């Protein structure tokens, strides 16, 4: 009986230690704000398999982050969650096209294939961008912030 208690305590300690290591290893200290100084606009679109595929054996992702901005800027990452599942990408350096009413222009970033989302689901979109307007080419030492763009409904692309 004493050995069983020791085994249970050892397992509990192992699980706790693993959880703490995972938390601190994945922790991102980057500031999160809802202030969107660049006017970044984003939504998730669903383009079902087979749309735009000229042959039967080609493959395109089902989901895309469709994004642009009112001011010249770029994103270095995204974090999109529906409450149950998330997709996160960091280490990007993607310039965003400017909003143009007459000629809409968006950057479309493919999202992973294993997302359990469907049309009409709501997702919370955060993008990582420079914390200030920066002139010229940049590098990874530029301070960035997570901009919380809020909830967005996944729409089906036609």
* 4: confidence class by pLDDT, cuts 50, 70, 90: confident
List, for residues 88-112, the tens digit of each pLDDT value. 999 999 999 999 888 889 999 999 9
pLDDT more than 70, % of the chain? 77
pTM, rounded to two decimals: 0.73
Q: Is residue 38 part of a domain?
A: yes
Q: Is residue 10 part of a domain?
A: no
Q: Is residue 135 part of a domain?
A: yes
Residue 146, SS3 per DSSP: strand
Q: Are 80 and 111 in contact (CB under 8 A)?
A: yes
Q: Is residue 23 part of a domain?
A: no
Q: Is residue 2 part of a domain?
A: no
Cα 30 from Cα 126, distance rounded (Å): 12
Q: Which domain holds residue 51?
A: 30-156
Confidence (pLDDT) at 75: 95
Q: Are 86 and 71 in contact (CB under 8 A)?
A: no
**CA dihedral sign of residues 67, 71, 76, 82:** negative
The structural domain count of the chain equals 1
Cα 128 from Cα 78, distance rounded (Å): 6
């Amino acid at each position: 009986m004493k050995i069983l208690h020791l085994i249970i305590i050892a397992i509990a300690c192992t699980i706790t230690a693993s959880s703490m290591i995972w938390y601190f290893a994945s922790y991102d200290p980057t500031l999160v704000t809802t202030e969107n100084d660049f006017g970044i606009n984003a939504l998730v679109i669903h383009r079902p398999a087979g749309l735009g595929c000229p042959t039967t054996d080609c493959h395109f992702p089902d989901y895309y982050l469709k994004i642009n901005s009112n001011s010249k800027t770029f994103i270095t990452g995204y974090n999109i969650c529906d409450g149950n599942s998330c997709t996160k990408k960091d280490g990007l350096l993607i310039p965003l096209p400017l909003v143009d009413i007459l000629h809409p222009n968006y950057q479309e970033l493919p999202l992973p294939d294993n997302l359990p989302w469907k049309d009409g689901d709501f997702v919370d979109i955060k993008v990582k961008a420079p914390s200030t307007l920066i002139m010229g080419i940049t590098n990874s030492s530029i301070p960035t912030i997570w901009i919380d763009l809020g909830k967005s409904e996944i729409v089906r692309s036609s």
